[in-house]
Structure 1
Amino acid sequence: MQEQRISKKATQAIGVPPLSLLNGERGPRPSLSGTEMISWILQGGVLISAVLILSGMFLLPTRPGGLSTQRLLNFPQTLSDVLAGLLIMRPQAIISLGLFCLIATPVMRVAASIFTFARERDHIYVLITALVLAILLCSIFILGATVTPHLPAGAHEIHYSLLIVVCIFLGSIGAGMLGSLVGLGGGILIVPLLTIVFRLPIDFAIGASIISVIATSSGAAAAYVRDHLTNLRVGMFLELATTIGAVSGAFLAGLLAPGLLGVIFGIILLISIAPVVVKLGEDLPHGVKNDRLASWLRLNGAYPDRHARTVVTYEVTRTPWGLALMYVAGLISGLLGIGSGTFKVVAMDTIMRLPVKVSSTTSNLMIGVTAAASAGIYFSRGEILPLVAAPVALGILLGAFFGARLLPGMSNKALRLIFIPVIVLSALEMVLHGLGIGPF
């Protein structure tokens, strides 16, 4: 009885009926809440983009050229090109429109958050969210127009066929599931898959990975926000730093050699494992108290834990350090197209001392916005191939759907046990491949 009283009191603080959530029920709601509106926007964006991408993929074999390398490299690179292609029902244009809708989904989520915070008369977060939205729009519509399209070395040597499309799709399902569980984004596996297995230039792999990160975030975050596992205030505050870092990284990526990018990717992943291993036996953080900034921003919260069948309350510490690391995370995301969920989860879990479920779900929400901040630059540079990004996006969305259903019933320790081997394997593969001594 005492557990139920504590659970009820804690969940009332976040406006969630405890028994309905712990039993997997939704319960009646008198009106559409802010979190429900955000969840619907994410679900709607995912559905529209998936329908458009599938329509374009089904039309493609009916047109001259089919699934060829020439068709792969011949695609619309601007919004005007896409609109012109839609007038003649060009499959590439339909697929590109679906990818644009996917990129726009986290942007719409940020815009909706302004309305949510305004309705709550939370003026601090209205300002913070408006700044994040301004950075996103500036990156997509202004900074993206300043770059020049180009094809990387080896682009015309790519082998492309229906079998490759199917294999990329199947591999992306696994990447989406793992990414949604541990808050890393699908890029952690997509980049090694595309570069090592399918021999794509890393520029194209990173471009597809940017799309996979947005797909993982949008596909999984809808369920996490609806189930109150995500801390919207923590996510929005930290997105200030990640979006600025992502724009910086996207520009820097055009100045570095592909091999060096692979080595940097692997080393960063290996470094990020250390604090996770140290905390492997810890299920929930203890003795954490809000610092002054966390108290002022009201970053503490609570979430219903179906595995423990109770409601977990938590506070946040070392907020300035977490914000600084988020800029680094954004820089890595824009540089390598991986979502930088590793740094986000580590910063929130180890530095800010959030429970790992909150860290991973909040990271999932944030990685889509971080990736969207650099997606416009990658698209304008011609590094997002629609015929590669399309099967990646569809597979990631399906995998993220399954992962989001699994996470609420898992323990925090189990999530860390999944996190570690995935990171180690991907890191070693990318370092070896970047040095030219990979296994493939």
Structure 2
Amino acid sequence: MTRNNTGPLPATQLEQRQTATETAATAARAIDAQAATIIGWILQGGVLVSAAIILIGVAWLFLQPGGPGTTSVARFPHTLPDLLAGLLQWQAPALIVLGLVVLIATPVLRVATSIVAFALERDARYVLITLAVLLILLYSLFFGDRGTSSAHLSGLAHFQFSALVFALIFCGSVVAGLLGSLIGLGGGVLIVPLLTLAFGLPISFAIGASIISVIATSSGAAAAYVRDRITNMRVGMFLELATTTGAISGAFLAGLLAPGVLGIIFGIILLLSALPTLFKIGEELPSGVQNDWLAAHLNLASSYPDEHLGREVSYQVTRTPLGLFLMFLAGVISGLLGIGSGAFKVLAMDVVMRLPLKVSTTTSNFMIGVTAAASAGIYFARGDIPPLVAAPVALGILLGALIGSRLLSRLSNRVIRLVFLPVIVATAVEMILHGLGIGGI
């Protein structure tokens, strides 16, 4: 008599299948942990190499006769051939630019490494998703807008660079990096107002320096967050499909809008992003969240160790398609304003997709560097990233981000929200007033 193959499996076969499934899951977690460690070290290594090169360039600049005051802020290489020529002549601005290029390349290398990690897991879906993100990044870096003019760079003519200016920008950037790493916004949310309001830098160049600050915040803080298993790398990689595409769109739009309009848009966006957080000020963890069909299909649910609560926190993900759409808008804002659009990334993950706030902020930090890198090539080619301004920004942001990454796991979600709100509101008001021509510090 032939046994019906569609009937129930014997208990021994069920046990064997369950054991095989558990073994596969354990192996996948082991690969995840190894990939997180490797990616964490890549981010940290890129940050350290970049910082070392920038420091050498800055030291060489200050050792020159007359110091930094004799070097024009508006004269620097912003194409690869010019960079190579400057390096061969041992020019200080060229050394600083090389350090900035290494920093920009760090999130790109992280994406490429993620492809290998997902391939080792035999996860074809995420290999394709991550490969698409990498191709978008490479397109931006090598085929983005290459237009610039002497009139464009003449906006830097009035900017007087000195050791005091360097120190003040550095100190302000440390604070920006600390706050940015805690609340997942990137340093740009404070760097743009700092450079435009306090130092009178044209907003296009402030945004260019801010793009660097966003990458520095992301790389500096994400290294620790990834290794500590707080970041959800699958959520980050999937949503980066939308943010990188949006960032390229925003970077092209930036050249079409007046500086005052950018300032007003900047402020209004920040105010709107703060409203949902105000109504959730006391929430520690989201409750009653169930995976939607897309989150279940992409295996987005996960867990993280919460040092403040003293336990492993499991969570699921919902409204994923809406979150993906909001991430495209976040990318447009990032490319347009150079702020990393972390406020919208945190908003989408915390309020819409219902991830725990710590996961939202750390995953935002993980993503903002890639989003910024997608538009960095365009800003670099335009000459919108002056190295004498970007150098103290990058160094200060890196230091602040490393400090902030050590603090986040010890803080409650309530405290993080209390830090988030006043920073956003104050910055938004300043930028709206400045955009209207009635602000100024």
TM-score (ref. length: structure 1) = 0.92
Question: Aligned residue for 2:76?
Answer: 75
Give 1:101's aligned amino acid: V
- How far did 1:51 drift? 0.3
- How far did 1:382 drift? 0.5
Kept in 2: contact 1:78–1:380 (CA 8 A) = yes
- How far did 1:32 drift? 7.8
Kept in 1: contact 2:263–2:431 (CA 8 A) = yes
1:97-146: CA deviation from partner (whole Å, max 9, x where unpaired): 000000000000000000000000010000000000000000000114x4
- 1:228 correspondence with 2:229: yes
1:364-420: CA deviation from partner (whole Å, max 9, x where unpaired): 000000000000000100010000000000000000000000000111111111000
Kept in 2: contact 1:69–1:159 (CA 8 A) = no
Give 1:403's aligned amino acid: G
- How far did 1:277 drift? 0.5
Query: Residue 230 of structure 2 aligns to a residue in which SS?
Result: coil
Give 2:143's aligned amino acid: I
Q: Distance in 1 between matches of 2:210 and 2:98?
A: 17
Give 2:135's aligned amino acid: A
Q: Distance in 2 between matches of 1:318 and 1:209?
A: 31
Q: Distance in 2 between matches of 1:416 and 1:13?
A: 35
Kept in 2: contact 1:14–1:302 (CA 8 A) = no
Q: Aligned in 2, Cα 1:32/1:409: closer, same or farther, shift over 3 Å?
A: closer
Kept in 2: contact 1:152–1:203 (CA 8 A) = no
1:267-346 alignment, distance < 5 Å: 267-346=268-347
- How far did 1:31 drift? 11
1:27-426 alignment, distance < 5 Å: 33-64=34-65, 66-68=67-69, 71-144=72-145, 146-150=146-150, 151=152, 154-426=155-427
Query: Residue 71 of structure 1 aligns to a residue in which SS?
Result: coil
- How far did 1:70 drift? 5.1
Q: Aligned in 2, Cα 1:184/1:30: closer, same or farther, shift over 3 Å?
A: closer
Q: Distance in 2 between matches of 1:325 and 1:131?
A: 19
Kept in 1: contact 2:73–2:156 (CA 8 A) = no
- How far did 1:154 drift? 3.7
Structure number with greater Rg is: 2
Aligned CA-pair RMSD: 1.8
Q: Distance in 2 between matches of 1:190 and 1:402?
A: 18
Q: Distance in 2 between matches of 1:14 and 1:209?
A: 41
Question: Aligned residue for 2:4?
Answer: none
Kept in 1: contact 2:74–2:154 (CA 8 A) = no
Q: Which runs of 4+ in 1 moved over 3 A?
A: 12-17, 29-32
TM-score (ref. length: structure 2) = 0.92
Q: Aligned in 2, Cα 1:189/1:15: closer, same or farther, shift over 3 Å?
A: farther
Question: Aligned residue for 1:7?
Answer: none
Q: Distance in 2 between matches of 1:31 and 1:418?
A: 32
Q: Distance in 1 between matches of 2:413 and 2:116?
A: 33
Query: Residue 73 of structure 2 aligns to a residue in which SS?
Result: helix
Kept in 1: contact 2:221–2:402 (CA 8 A) = yes
Kept in 1: contact 2:181–2:365 (CA 8 A) = yes
- How far did 1:149 drift? 4.3
Q: Distance in 1 between matches of 2:284 and 2:311?
A: 14
1:247-271: CA deviation from partner (whole Å, max 9, x where unpaired): 0000000010011100000000000
Give 2:147's aligned amino acid: V
Question: Aligned residue for 2:17?
Answer: none
Q: Distance in 2 between matches of 1:15 and 1:362?
A: 23
Q: Distance in 2 between matches of 1:15 and 1:425?
A: 48
Question: Aligned residue for 1:3?
Answer: none
- How far did 1:292 drift? 0.1
Query: Residue 305 of structure 2 aligns to a residue in which SS?
Result: strand
- How far did 1:359 drift? 0.1
Query: Residue 68 of structure 1 aligns to a residue in which SS?
Result: helix
Higher mean displacement: 273-282 or 105-114: 273-282
Query: Residue 399 of structure 2 aligns to a residue in which SS?
Result: helix
Higher mean displacement: 58-67 or 178-187: 58-67
Number of residues of Structure 1 aligned to a counterpart in Structure 2: 417
Query: Residue 342 of structure 1 aligns to a residue in which SS?
Result: helix
- How far did 1:160 drift? 1.6
Kept in 1: contact 2:47–2:220 (CA 8 A) = yes
Kept in 2: contact 1:69–1:158 (CA 8 A) = no
Structure 2: gaps of 5 or more residues: 1-23
Give 1:382's aligned amino acid: G
Kept in 1: contact 2:153–2:383 (CA 8 A) = no
Higher mean displacement: 333-342 or 274-283: 274-283
Give 2:43's aligned amino acid: L
Q: Aligned in 2, Cα 1:279/1:411: closer, same or farther, shift over 3 Å?
A: same
- How far did 1:158 drift? 1.4
Q: Aligned in 2, Cα 1:172/1:121: closer, same or farther, shift over 3 Å?
A: same
Q: Aligned in 2, Cα 1:294/1:69: closer, same or farther, shift over 3 Å?
A: farther
Query: Residue 72 of structure 1 aligns to a residue in which SS?
Result: coil
Q: Distance in 2 between matches of 1:67 and 1:94?
A: 14
Q: Distance in 1 between matches of 2:142 and 2:116?
A: 22
Structure 1: gaps of 5 or more residues: 1-11, 18-28
Q: Distance in 1 between matches of 2:163 and 2:59?
A: 12
Query: Residue 285 of structure 1 aligns to a residue in which SS?
Result: coil
Give 1:372's aligned amino acid: A
Query: Residue 433 of structure 2 aligns to a residue in which SS?
Result: helix
Query: Residue 157 of structure 1 aligns to a residue in which SS?
Result: coil
Question: Aligned residue for 2:18?
Answer: none
